[in-house]
Chain A
Amino acid sequence: MNTSDSEEDACNERTALVQSESPSLPSYTRQNDPQHSTTEPKRVSVIPEPITFSAREPGHGPDGEDEELTLKYGAKHVIMLFVPVTLCMVVVVATIKSVSFYTEKNGQQLIYTPFTEDTNSVGQRLLNSVLNTIIMISVIVVMTIFLVLLYKYRCYKFIHGWLILSSLMLLFWFSYMYLGEVFKTYNVAMDYPTVAMIIWNFGAVGMICIHWKGPLQLQQAYLIVISALMALVFIKYLPEWSAWVILGAISVYDLIAVLCPKGPLRMLVETAQERNEPIFPALIYSCISFASDEEAHHNEDRAEEREEAEPQRPTVHGQNRSHSVEEDLEEDRGVKLGLGDFIFYSVLVGKAAATGEDWNTTLACFVAILIGLCLTLLLLAIFKKALPALPISITFGLVFYFSTDNLVRPFMDNLAAHQYYI
């Protein structure tokens, strides 16, 4: 079974950490003209996949205040991202450990990884996995550039159609397969009409929540579920060594694509910031909600600015309409993480869980990824611009995976056999 192109593409742009607020606008507003603070500074809700820290940094004011606000909210944001990342990983690990379908290899591979790893020699296998990686990464690069070009030339309908198609596939087809495998594992008798009803409801509500509006937590839950489903597909269909090499390569690609001046993801972020538009909601996980239209209508002086950009408002502050800039700042705070990051973190932890009986490796990779995320958010708070979320976490994850699997596992096994405690 091959995933569609839209799947591959949809998850490519999804890797990066971006700042959800354009720093220049608000600081301009604050620095140059205090009376403009009454007019609504545009909330640039940009956060293409990458992790974006939507805190706007005030341009002036005592430095301590800036940094203090940053850090006071920094720890909260880290936790706001720890929870969904942990949930996604827990779903993937639980599925891998219980449903054997996702660890069975029956020779089928994605068309993006055509070279088989069933070869005789180690060298040949390594070569095949590197070739697979090159093909996969080039597909991803091409898709990303295609998406950026479409965005630049304002082919919004095409992009939306593409995203809707890919989330349709995830929400209906992959979740149907997943449900089928879970039923098989637990030997549950089920009939097609019931399954049709379940999948129809699940999928329809998911499409509405992700692409239109819905309660924030439901939207977050759906995004976590589709990331987990995508990660499971990758775990099943990527061959062993190719998966590890791809994980490494995609972190490097993420680094280049987000930080280089001509990188596609960076161009996507900047274009979206210029146009004051949010990046497609289907590609990012956000911790604060976009306001519903009713709330917007309560406030005429903001209505115009709303037509393009979906405003960000934490649901907590939904009622409060007095707009000092500080309050806007507080309301703006939130972090966004691309779905591709969720997917690849879960792929790493899922593969760690899939290899053998050992839980220590899974645990070590989990801690490593969380620490990497923490460090990335720290860097985001310091640099305040779009940052790739994959490199640090995946590097730590890979290092911990290979070292725990090869070094720590024999040590701990020996200790447990003798019941020695360290």
Chain B
Amino acid sequence: MTAAVFFGCAFIAFGPAFALFIFTIARDPLRVIIFIAGAFFWLLSLLLSSLVWFIAMKASNAEDTKVQKGLLIFGVMFSVLIQEVFRFAYYRLLRKANEGLAAISDEETSPISVRQMAYVAGLGFGIISGAFSMINILSDSLGPGTVGIFGDSQYYFITSALMTLAITLLHTFWGVVFFEGCEKSRWWVIAVVVCLHLLVSGLSLLNPLYEGSLPPVYAVTVLMAVWAFFSSGGSLHNLSLLFTSKRSEVESS
């Protein structure tokens, strides 16, 4: 049973993300490097926010649970803000690198566009964020144990997996939209992304009231998917072309 839970939760949490990685990123060395560097930037942001939380925690009374909970919530919000700051920093770094690549390449353009970099960076943030949230839970799900023995929810593993999936996809979409907003200097886009991230993390604070956290988070995910699709140049026309050209291929073959 534990193996079933392990594999089920692993595939729920990481299936789409790994599929995206394998089909779109793994073949191109430059994208892999941007992906790993994105993960690195997220790690740096996590390090910084953990440091701040740790200092605050040590400076306060360890016995007082209310204060500790408040500090944890503060830690969550601060971490969200720091992540977005590092996303912006990564955007600046990638822009500089892109200009460098374009300057030295044969054709006047760089081998990778800002939109592709936005997607790859977003996916990097997403996968490492999901991994850090989920890996320890997955390894615990393999071992012997009883879920919710102290009265906690029975659905811990599956809700964690679903939440991780949502967060991973959200980071990808936020990356696309964020970079696009920076490119076009639409600062309201960035503000909306930050607010949505804060909203999603805030909704997760409602756990274990899963009805309050999971459906809204998935609603936000779908919204972001649509926004990212249109922001990266997609349109209803493209979608219809996708379906009609398939049909014509089928007809001609």
Q: Say yes or no: is A419 at the interface (Cβ < 8 Å to chain B).
A: yes
Whether A420 and B36, one on each chain, are in contact in the complex, defined by CB atoms closer than 8 angstroms, is: no
Decide: B46 and A408 in contact? CB cutoff 8 A. Answer: yes
A414 CB within 8 Å of chain B: yes
Smallest CB separation, B231 vs chain A (Å): 24
Contact in complex: A75, B36 (CB < 8 Å): no
The verdict on B159 contacting chain A, using a C-beta distance below 8 Å, is yes
Asked if A404 and B47 make an inter-chain contact with CB atoms under 8 angstroms apart, the answer reads: yes
Q: Does B53 contact A (CB under 8 A)?
A: yes
Q: How far apart are the CA atoms of A422 and B72 in the complex, in Å?
A: 11
In the bound assembly, the distance between CA atoms of A82 and B160 in angstroms comes to 30
CB of B249, distance to nearest CB on chain A (Å): 33
**How many angstroms from the CA of A68 to the CA of B105 in the assembled complex?**
6
Q: Is the Cβ of B204 less than 8 Å from the Cβ of A400?
A: no
Residues on the B chain within 8 Å of A410, using CB: 50, 54, 57
| Chain A positions within 8 Å of B105 at CB level | 68, 72
Task: Give bound CA distance, A258 to B30, whole Å.
Answer: 28
- Say yes or no for B51: interface residue by CB 8 A criterion: yes
Q: Is the CB of A415 within 8 A of B104?
A: no
Chain A residue nearest to B73 in the complex (CB): A420
Q: Does A152 belong to the interface (CB within 8 Å)?
A: no
Does A67 reach chain B (CB closer than 8 Å)? yes
Cross-chain contact of A411 among B43, B54, B208 (Cβ < 8 A) = B54
Contacts of A400 in B (CB 8 A): 43, 47
In the assembled complex, A3 has its CB within 8 A of some CB on chain B: no
Chain A interface size, under 10 / 10 to 19 / 20 to 34 / 35 or more:
35 or more
Let me know if A418 is at the binding interface, CB within 8 A: yes
Do A422 and B54 touch across chains, with their CB atoms under 8 A apart?
A: no
Quick one: given A400-B43, A408-B47, A411-B50, are A419 and B139 in contact (CB under 8 Å)?
A: no
**Interface contact B50-A408, CB-CB below 8 Å:** yes
- Further pairs besides A75-B33, A370-B36: 17, Cβ < 8 Å: A64-B103, A75-B30, A359-B136, A364-B43, A367-B36, A367-B43, A371-B37, A407-B47, A411-B46, A412-B50, A412-B132, A419-B160, A420-B73, A421-B76, A421-B133, A421-B200, A422-B129
From B30, B106, B132, contact of A360 by CB (8 A) = B132
User: Which of the residues B51, B80, B101, B207 comes within 8 Å of A407, measured between beta carbons?
Assistant: B51
User: Is B163 touching A421 in the complex (CB atoms < 8 A)?
Assistant: yes
Interface status of A79 (Cβ within 8 A of chain B): yes
Contacts of B75 in A (CB 8 A): 411
Cβ-based interface call for B79 (8 A): yes
Question: Which residues from chain A contact B106 at a C-beta distance below 8 Å?
Answer: 68
The CA-CA distance from A78 to B133 in the complex, in Å, is 28
Least CB distance, A273 to chain B, in whole angstroms: 28
Q: B32 and A79: CB pair below 8 A?
A: yes
Identify 21 residue pairs between A and B in the complex whose beta-carbon atoms are under 8 Å apart, listed by A's number: A72-B105, A75-B33, A78-B33, A357-B136, A357-B139, A358-B136, A359-B136, A363-B128, A364-B43, A374-B37, A406-B54, A411-B46, A412-B132, A415-B72, A416-B133, A419-B160, A420-B72, A420-B207, A422-B46, A422-B76, A422-B83
Assuming the contacts A75-B30, A82-B32, asked whether A414 and B72 have C-beta atoms less than 8 A apart, the reply is: yes
